[in-house]
Structure 1
């Protein structure tokens, strides 16, 4: 995924299926300057990771 799409999903009112290495994630923040995103993995709010947006994949609807 590119940084522009990650930012678009983050700012969207809708729900978008995003995956990180097969796990479902929620984008919590996007750091445009560094190309990074903070995501919550699954439904566990304590399981957050900061990863390169290149590692994120939008699921095909």
Structure 2
């Protein structure tokens, strides 16, 4: 995924499925300058990771 798409998903009103290493995640923040995103893994708000947006995959339906 690229930075612009991650930003679009973050700002979308729609529920867009995103995965990190096959696990569902929610994008919480995008750092466009560094190509990074903070994501919540699973349903626990405290389980967050900062990863390169290139590691995120949009689930195509």
Task: Tell me, yes or no, whether TM beats 0.5.
Answer: yes
State the Cα RMSD in Å: 0.4
Alignment correspondent of 2:10: 10
Alignment correspondent of 2:44: 44
Q: How many residues matched?
A: 61
Matched, 1:30 2:30: yes
Q: Distance in 1 between matches of 2:30 and 2:24?
A: 17
Q: Distance in 1 between matches of 2:46 and 2:29?
A: 15
If the length of structure 1 is used for normalisation, what is the TM-score? 0.98
Q: Distance in 2 between matches of 1:31 and 1:42?
A: 21
Alignment correspondent of 1:20: 20
If the length of structure 2 is used for normalisation, what is the TM-score? 0.98
Q: Which runs of 4+ in 1 moved over 4 A?
A: none
